């Protein structure tokens, strides 16, 4: 009886296969969607179009020229009235302390704030004009170089002016603030990001599946 039951089940399966009514094979399960390929490094470094970039550089150059004119008028014009009060300062902090000791708060703000504001355009415009000048240290060094030259000309050729190292420090502080607040973003918006040599090692260490 057991053999007849097995034969009946086998016959039923055979008939089902012949009739084409066999259960279809289960469909393979769909896996998670394949991740989209990451953007290439070239596309991420793409900046604005050449026309927009050239226009930004021209505007920055015009602003730098205007700033240079204002800087020359503020620092290189003779001041005969202040000649008895001027003296060379090579010790950092001396002039700043004298500014803070001014009896009128307005004079303190004028001296300290004026020198700081005078350095802000360097931090804003240098990253746009010179892509290789991007970077906090480069901006500060270029600002210090320019302002040291201005102070040297003041002390050697302009009546009523003298070299003051504190003025250079305050100018560099202004350039630092200008770069951190806006200059860094302007430089990256106008010019594509640079590819440093250490990026090769960081890319080679990334897993293949990432």
Reduced 3-state DSSP string for 99-122: HHCCCCHHHHHHHHHHHHHHHHHH
Which pLDDT score, from 0 to 100, does residue 47 have?
62
Read off the pLDDT band of 180 (50, 70, 90). very high
pTM greater than the 0.75 cutoff: no
Total domains in the chain come to 1
Q: Is 105 within a domain?
A: yes
Q: Is 201 within a domain?
A: no
Q: Is 44 within a domain?
A: no
Mean pLDDT of 133-156: 92
Q: Is 67 within a domain?
A: yes
Q: Is 204 within a domain?
A: no
Which pLDDT score, from 0 to 100, does residue 5 have?
47
Number of H helices, E strands in the chain: 9, 0
Residue 118 structural domain:
49-79+86-190
Best CA proximity match to 143, nearest among 108, 114, 178, 112 = 178
Q: Is 116 within a domain?
A: yes
Q: Is 5 within a domain?
A: no
Q: Is 6 within a domain?
A: no
Spatial contact of 172 and 96, defined as CB atoms under 8 Å apart: no
User: Would the pLDDT of 92 be above 60?
Assistant: yes
């Amino acid at each position: 009886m057991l053999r007849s039951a097995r034969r009946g089940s086998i016959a039923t399966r055979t008939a089902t296969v012949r009739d084409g009514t066999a259960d279809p094979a289960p469909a393979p399960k769909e896996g998670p969607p394949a991740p989209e390929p990451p953007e290439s490094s070239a596309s991420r470094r793409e900046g604005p179009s050449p026309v927009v970039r050239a226009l930004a550089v021209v505007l920055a150059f015009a602003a730098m020229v205007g700033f240079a004119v204002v800087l020359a008028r503020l620092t290189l014009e003779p001041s005969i009235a202040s000649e008895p009060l001027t003296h060379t300062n090579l010790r950092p902090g001396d002039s700043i302390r004298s500014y803070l000791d001014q009896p009128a708060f307005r004079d303190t703000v004028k001296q300290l704030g004026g020198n700081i504001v005078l350095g802000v355009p360097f931090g804003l415009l240098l990253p746009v004009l010179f892509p290789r000048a991007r970077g906090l240290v480069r901006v500060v060094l270029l600002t210090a170089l320019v302002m040291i030259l201005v102070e040297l000309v003041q002390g050697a050729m302009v009546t009523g002016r003298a070299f003051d190292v504190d003025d250079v420090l305050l100018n560099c502080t202004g350039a630092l603030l200008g770069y951190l607040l806006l200059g860094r973003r302007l430089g990256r918006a106008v010019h594509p990001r640079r590819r440093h040599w250490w990026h090769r090692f960081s890319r080679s260490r990334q897993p293949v599946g990432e």
